């Protein structure tokens, strides 16, 4: 699965989690909290939906994801395992 395919899938998930979000403004460099307004509940919903959609699991990480690109890269790597 490519980074772009994951990105498009994440945008679909964002549409469900944050329905008022203008998806045309979302890019790889978009910051989850500052740019997209993702809070802890939205992050949980996003994580669960991504795990279901991509057939992977997020592992506990010391450093939280900051950008959409970081999430994409993590999912690509997790799916490739």
Confidence of residue 62 (pLDDT cuts 50, 70, 90): low
pLDDT digits (tens, 9 = 90+) for 6-47: 999 999 999 999 999 999 999 999 999 999 999 999 999 999
Would you say residue 60 has pLDDT above 90? no
Per the structure, the complete domain to which residue 39 belongs is given by: 3-80
Q: CATH number of the domain that 12 lies in?
A: 1.10.1200.10
What lies within 8 Å, CB to CB, of 65 at 6+ separation is 32, 71, 74
Mean pLDDT for 67-78 is 96
CA nearest 50: which of 8, 13, 2? 13
- Rounded alpha-carbon distances, angstroms, from residue 32 to 35, 67, 69, 80: 6, 5, 10, 24
- Domains: count for the chain: 1
Quote the tokens at residue 5: 């395919």
């Amino acid at each position: 699965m490519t980074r772009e395919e994951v990105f498009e899938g994440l945008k679909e998930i964002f549409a469900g989690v944050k329905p008022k979000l203008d998806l045309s403004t979302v890019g790889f460099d978009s910051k989850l909290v500052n740019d997209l307004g993702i809070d802890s509940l939205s992050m949980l919903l996003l994580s669960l939906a991504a795990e279901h959609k991509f057939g992977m699991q997020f592992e506990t990480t010391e450093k939280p994801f900051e950008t959409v690109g970081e999430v994409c890269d993590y999912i690509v790597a997790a799916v490739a395992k």
